[in-house]
Amino acid sequence: MGRITLSKVTKTFGDVEVIPPLDLKIEDGEFVVFVGPSGCGKSTLLRLIAGLEDVTSGEIEIDGTPATDLPPARRGLAMVFQSYALYPHMSVRKNIAFPLKMAKMDPAEQERRVLAAAKTLNLTDYLDRRPAQLSGGQRQRVAIGRAIVREPEAFLFDEPLSNLDAALRVNMRLEISELHQSLKTTMIYVTHDQVEAMTMADKIVVLRAGHIEQVGSPLELYRSPANLFVAGFIGSPKMNFITGAEAAKHGAHTIGIRPEHLAIAQEGGSWQGRVGVAEHLGSDTFLHVHVDGQDPLTVRVPGEAGYRHGDTVSLTPNLEHLHRFDDKGLALR
Amino acid sequence: MATAHSRAAARVMISPAVILLLGWMIIPLSMTVYFSFLSYNLLMPGMEEFIGFGNYEYFLTDPAFMEALINTLLLVGGVLAITIVGGVGLALLLDQPMWGQGIVRVLVIAPFFVMPTVSALVWKNMFMNPVNGLFAHMAKALGLPPFDFLAHAPLMSIIVIVAWQWLPFATLILLTALQSLDKEQLEAAEMDGASALDRFRFIVLPHMSRAITVVILIQTIFLLSVFAEILVTTNGGPGYASTNITYLVYAQSLLQFDVGGGSAGGIVAVILANIVAIFLMRMIGKNLEA
């Protein structure tokens, strides 16, 4: 079981408060993603849960037992590091078996578990190699293998894919998601990439400067962001924000409209503009439209749109998907 | 681009340096070999004659030779053991964050800058002297009779002095190795349930093995030729108790004016050093690969 509860947890380094008092509940079997920009405290939060950092105040409970003062090894968690942190002088087999050896498990049982993990992760042919002889993706899998052999209560991932190239990243994303489906163990995953968060998470925790901005399923965050920060962070390309008179018409300080919720026509829409850069991706076209008196708006047009630089176009927002925010940046419902 | 022509030019241009270095090494070596086959004593000038392996026979069958050989190995082994174990310990301590780190590190390195004769004299006169030495005072304060280190445990005393000089070197090399260890590896091991001792044994020590190899190789080269410390403290005595091969060669050629015998001893020392080197490379050389 892997239920993790944080209550009033804080962390300060010297005079700097990295995590102000924070409450969070993670249910058993959930895939939770901590997402936020660099330096928002998401990795620190993960390390607090792992026990690699001591909390300044507050309580951490794992499965209902207080774990605040437990050393990392006794919390029953396994962690995959950004640098993988494989032991360079040990073979893949010994790397994966290391936690079992430390637990003084019977060697035959160790071997059985290592082989099972290697099979799951397609590492069987590489068991006698050293980490230096493996590719990035394979090292990543060894790091995951070292985590799964212990059969932990929960897995902690600290930006595990950020050292991989784009194609491999998509692959590993799928593999980790599949691993979660088959193991059904709680996983906590830290990333700054909102695409990873959206595609993998059951529950996303959006962090900014140590504060939880919003917690919810990916689609909840997409449909009803609680504030400007979440609205801007979730979704790609970014949501367009419009302030001033245009927003006042809708009774808000700021309105937000996603690029995919803007209809484009030659004329007759709400806003007239001129096409700046057009990005043709094949499946979609992103147009950057300059509207007088406003920041440029990004528009997503499905398929291969025939618009070119300099064309005059007219945009109409889909009012059902219009987001309204007050002057403090909070969503108006 | 290395064309055949530019390679040839390069060879021509480096040849003076190579020839000079080669001559620098070959001429003394071949002269030593030549002298070792002569009966050549400075007290009897003009009486040199070829005597074949006579000098070697004389040197190798000298009862002092075996004793000097054992002393040499004990000295090298003893100093290596103390400096490696002590160096790892000190490196672990110095790696801890603490106040005044910079000053402490400089102080630890300091003994390495003291020349061997001076440090040996300091040890002899200020620490180990049975009348005025610090150790004698400490023994007396405890009500014990003072111990005359250099008379009763001469080799042990020299091992301590030499180890004191080389400890900073080992510490410095091992400390840099320790600092290059990825901290995430230690954290991963901590998550994996490794105790502090396990982390040292399975992560830190293997990481330092290459640095330890380097320390052993470099120190062995210098420790085989320890001389100044013996000369200023015990003069190889009492008897031959603290004579090593280097000192024996010195005694042979410069105290007995026997150039031939000394040269033969020198050649024997070169051969022994190479045997030690072969053993070392066999044992720990694989650590340096890859």
pTM comes to 0.78
Contact (CB<8Å) A87/B194: no
A-B Cβ pairs (cutoff 8 Å, strict):
59
Cβ-based interface (< 8 Å): residues of B facing A: 182, 184-185, 187-195, 198, 202-203, 206-207, 209
Other C-beta atoms within 10 Å of B93: how many?
A: 13
CA distances from B276 to A251, B77, B78, B150, B271 (A): 89, 11, 15, 28, 9
Please report which confidence band the pLDDT of residue B82 belongs to, taking 50, 70 and 90 as the band edges: very high
CA distances from A148 to A117, A182, B119 (A): 7, 12, 57
Collapsed DSSP state (helix, strand, coil) of residue A116: helix
Residue with tokens 């009348």: B131
| Closest residue on chain B to A82 (Cα) | B184
Please tell me the distance from the alpha carbon of residue B57 to that of residue B245, in angstroms, as a whole number. Answer: 16
| Closest residue on chain A to B193 (Cα) | A73
Chain A residues lying within 8 Å of B194, measured CB to CB:
73, 98, 102
Average pLDDT for B61-88: 91
Q: Which residue has the higher pLDDT, A216 or B106?
A: A216
Average pLDDT for A68-77: 86
Best-predicted range by mean pLDDT among A71-75, A176-180, A274-278, B78-82?
B78-82
- Closest residue by Cα to residue B212 from B158, B160, B176: B176
Q: Which residues form the domain of B271?
A: 53-288
Contact status, residue B131 vs residue B123, Cβ threshold 8 Å: no
Least confident of A199-203, B127-131, B272-276: B127-131
Q: Give domain status of residue B35, yes or no.
A: no
Write the pLDDT tens digit of every residue in A220-257: 999 999 899 999 888 888 899 988 888 888 888 888 99
Say which residues have a Cβ less than 8 Å from residue A264's Cβ, sequence separation at least 6.
A287, A299, A301, A305, A307, A313, A314, A315, A316
The pLDDT value given to residue B60: 84
Please tell me the distance from the alpha carbon of residue A191 to that of residue A178, in angstroms, as a whole number. Answer: 18
Contact (CB<8Å) A79/B191: yes
Report the share of chain B in percent with pLDDT over 70: 98
Average pLDDT for B49-53: 82
Write the pLDDT tens digit of every residue in B59-71: 888 888 888 889 9
Chain A residues lying within 8 Å of B184, measured CB to CB:
81-83, 85
Chain A residues lying within 8 Å of B195, measured CB to CB:
102
Cβ-based interface (< 8 Å): residues of A facing B: 50, 52, 71-73, 77-79, 81-83, 85-90, 98-99, 102-103, 146, 150
Contact (CB<8Å) A87/B185: yes
Write the pLDDT tens digit of every residue in A108-156: 988 999 998 888 888 888 888 998 888 888 888 899 889 888 888 889 9
- Closest residue by Cα to residue B215 from B180, B168, B282: B168
Calculate how close chain B gets to A211, using CA atoms only, in Å. Answer: 26
Contact (CB<8Å) B188/A71: no
Please tell me the distance from the alpha carbon of residue A42 to that of residue B171, in angstroms, as a whole number. Answer: 38
The pLDDT value given to residue B48: 79
Q: How many residues does chain A have?
A: 333
The pLDDT value given to residue A1: 64
Residue B290 predicted with pLDDT over 70: no
- Closest residue by Cα to residue B167 from B283, B70, B280, B89: B89
**Least CB–CB distance from A78: residue in B189, B191, B207:** B191
Chain B residues lying within 8 Å of A85, measured CB to CB:
182, 184-185, 187-188
As given in the structure block, the two tokens for residue B263 are 């040269």
Contact (CB<8Å) B184/A81: yes
Please report which confidence band the pLDDT of residue A204 belongs to, taking 50, 70 and 90 as the band edges: very high
Average pLDDT for A189-211: 89
Average pLDDT for B55-83: 89
Q: Is B272 exposed, middle or buried (0-12, 13-18, 19+ CB in 10 A)?
A: middle
Average pLDDT for B121-139: 85
| Closest residue on chain B to A146 (Cα) | B192
Q: Give domain status of residue B189, yes or no.
A: yes
| Closest residue on chain B to A130 (Cα) | B290
Strand duo A203-208 + A31-35: pairing: parallel
- Closest residue by Cα to residue A225 from A327, A300, A332: A332
Residue B284 predicted with pLDDT over 80: no
Residue B50 predicted with pLDDT over 90: no
The pLDDT value given to residue A244: 82
- Helices within B41-62 (DSSP H only): 54-61
- Closest residue by Cα to residue B238 from B92, B119, B88, B71: B71
Please tell me the distance from the alpha carbon of residue A24 to that of residue B258, in angstroms, as a whole number. Answer: 87
Q: Give domain status of residue B77, yes or no.
A: yes
Which segments of A135-259 are extended strands (E)? 154-158, 186-191, 203-208, 211-216, 240-243, 254-257
The pLDDT value given to residue A18: 85
CA distances from A125 to A57, A94, B40, B176 (A): 47, 14, 69, 36
Please report which confidence band the pLDDT of residue B81 belongs to, taking 50, 70 and 90 as the band edges: very high
The pLDDT value given to residue B15: 93
Q: Give domain status of residue B40, yes or no.
A: no
The pLDDT value given to residue B46: 78
Calculate how close chain A gets to B192, using CA atoms only, in Å. Answer: 5
Please tell me the distance from the alpha carbon of residue B213 to that of residue B87, in angstroms, as a whole number. Answer: 13
Contact (CB<8Å) B190/A79: no
For chain A, domains (ranges, CATH) are 4-231 (3.40.50.300), 238-332 (2.40.50.140)
CATH number of the domain enclosing B225:
1.10.3720.10
Q: Give domain status of residue B227, yes or no.
A: yes
**Least CB–CB distance from B191: residue in A72, A86, A88:** A72
Please tell me the distance from the alpha carbon of residue A265 to that of residue A277, in angstroms, as a whole number. Answer: 17
| Closest residue on chain A to B290 (Cα) | A132
- Closest residue by Cα to residue B228 from B122, B84, B85, B77: B122
Q: Give domain status of residue B44, yes or no.
A: no
Return the exposure string of B135-147: e unless at least 16 CB atoms fall within 10 Å of the residue's CB, then b: bbeeeeeeeeebe
As given in the structure block, the two tokens for residue B215 are 């320390």
Contact (CB<8Å) A73/B194: yes
Residue B204 predicted with pLDDT over 60: yes
Other C-beta atoms within 10 Å of A296: how many?
A: 16
**Least CB–CB distance from B206: residue in A73, A89, A98:** A89
| Sheet containing strand A16-26, strands side by side | A16-26, A4-13, A57-62, A65-66
Q: Give domain status of residue B12, yes or no.
A: no
Calculate how close chain B gets to A22, using CA atoms only, in Å. Answer: 24
Collapsed DSSP state (helix, strand, coil) of residue B38: strand
Q: Give domain status of residue B14, yes or no.
A: no
Contact (CB<8Å) A81/B187: yes
**Which of A79, A81, A87 should one mutate to test binding to chain B, selecting the residue with the greatest count of B CBs within 10 A?**
A87
Chain B residues lying within 8 Å of A82, measured CB to CB:
184
The pLDDT value given to residue A296: 87
Return the exposure string of B185-201: e unless at least 16 CB atoms fall within 10 Å of the residue's CB, then b: bbbbbbbbbbeeebbbe
Start-to-end C-alpha separation, chain A:
37
Please report which confidence band the pLDDT of residue B84 belongs to, taking 50, 70 and 90 as the band edges: very high
Residue with tokens 């000394």: B262
- Closest residue by Cα to residue A188 from A2, A11, A56, A1: A2
Per the structure, the count of domains in chain B is 1
Calculate how close chain A gets to B88, using CA atoms only, in Å. Answer: 19
Contact (CB<8Å) A78/B206: no
Calculate how close chain A gets to B201, using CA atoms only, in Å. Answer: 12
As for the ipTM of the complex, it is 0.79
Average pLDDT for B81-98: 90
**Least CB–CB distance from B193: residue in A52, A73, A83:** A73
**Least CB–CB distance from A98: residue in B192, B206, B207:** B192
Report the share of chain B in percent with pLDDT over 90: 16
As given in the structure block, the two tokens for residue B88 are 């790892």
Say which residues have a Cβ less than 8 Å from residue A86's Cβ, sequence separation at least 6.
A95, A131, A139, A142, A143, A146, B185, B188
Please tell me the distance from the alpha carbon of residue A91 to that of residue A3, in angstroms, as a whole number. Answer: 34
Please tell me the distance from the alpha carbon of residue A314 to that of residue B27, in angstroms, as a whole number. Answer: 93
